[in-house]
Amino acid sequence: MTDKEMAEEYFEELRKKKIPFNIPNVIKEIKQAYLAGLKAGRPEWHKVADGDLPKETGEYLTNIGVLIWDYYADGRYGWHTKNCEFCDCCDDVDSDEVIAWCEIPKYTEE
């Protein structure tokens, strides 16, 4: 279902509850507010092909799972897996495997 379809469905649910929203501007504003809420609640994905890489080292959600963006001793940055608990090693990830990444969403009580 697209975002616009979800906004329409939400508005129809309000209409079924007999909430009087017959003024065209109010209808438009309700749908725009719903769409803005959807957008605000989604993580922002970054495309590696656009040169959009993390500014800081750390864990990130990628198209192939949670990886670490790290600075290596030879002066380059790259992706690798988390360290294994048993052998304390990690695997480098080929740069062409990661096509997109985003910040890992934080849990909140709200």
The pLDDT value recorded for residue 75 is: 84
> pLDDT tens digits for 57-90?
999 999 988 898 988 888 888 888 876 666 666 6
What stretches of 1-110 show up as alpha helix (H) in DSSP?
Answer: 3-16, 24-40
The pLDDT value recorded for residue 24 is: 64
pLDDT for residue 101 is more than 90: yes
Please give the structure tokens belonging to residue 98.
């990661």
> Is residue 107, in this structure, part of any structural domain at all?
no
Considering the domain architecture, whether residues 50 and 98 belong to the same structural domain is answered as yes
Considering the domain architecture, whether residues 90 and 51 belong to the same structural domain is answered as yes
The pLDDT value recorded for residue 46 is: 93
The pLDDT value recorded for residue 99 is: 92
The pLDDT value recorded for residue 78 is: 86
- CA-to-CA distance for 59 and 66, rounded, in angstroms? 7
Phi, psi (deg, nearest 5) at residue 77: -105, 155
The pTM assigned to this predicted structure is 0.62
Please give the residue range of the domain that contains residue 20.
3-40
Question: How many structural domains is the chain composed of?
Answer: 2
Considering the domain architecture, whether residues 34 and 57 belong to the same structural domain is answered as no
Q: Vertex 64, ends 59 and 70: CA angle to 5°?
A: 30
> pLDDT tens digits for 19-50?
665 666 677 777 778 778 777 777 889 999 89
